[in-house]
Amino acid sequence: MTDATKNVYHRTYPISWEQLHRDARALSWRLHEMGPWQGIIAITRGGLVPAAIIARELEIRLVDTICIASYAGRDQGEIQVLKPTSGDGTGWLLVDDLVDTGKTARLVRKMVPKAHFATIYAKPAGRPLVDTFMTEVSQDTWILFPWDSEIQFVQPIVERNNT
């Protein structure tokens, strides 16, 4: 973690698999009312799991991807488009796990401007770029997704403060 990253994230919000599944299903309820949808475009990699859950809940069988690389650990760098998609997005859901600074969101919005952009989590800087989201978190919070973590022993607070 760089010094710049340490200054940006003051909180951590861990998400369990169960919570992610509940939140993605809740997002599906909202999106169901707006459909029907032609298909889903998942923004990889973070949007893959939410897109799979939403596809199942809405009985959507046509799933595409836009492959973007923008993070190295907690550091957001230059965005690389590894695989674009075709069309303008009409009738499609564009799904990601999170909208953070809005860098990725701005890029994919240009690629598929008519898609309905849905994320599970949204931070204030990126929130205006999505059409539908479930939960807003503060900009200084690092969301710890279940695919980025594992369960392990943690020292009691008393012992951590003495070291």
Distance CA 30, CA 33 (A): 6
Catalytically active residues, by annotation: 96-97, 100
Residue-range domain boundaries for the chain: 3-161
In this structure, are residues 122 and 130 in contact, taking their beta carbons and an 8 Å threshold?
A: yes
Q: Which CATH number fits domain 3-161: 3.40.50.2020, 2.40.30.330, 3.40.50.150, 3.40.50.2000?
A: 3.40.50.2020
pLDDT tens for the chain, 163 residues: list them: 444 445 688 889 999 999 999 999 999 999 999 999 999 999 999 999 999 999 999 999 999 999 998 766 666 678 889 999 989 999 999 999 999 999 999 999 999 999 999 999 999 999 999 999 999 999 999 999 999 988 888 889 888 766 5
pLDDT at 4: 47
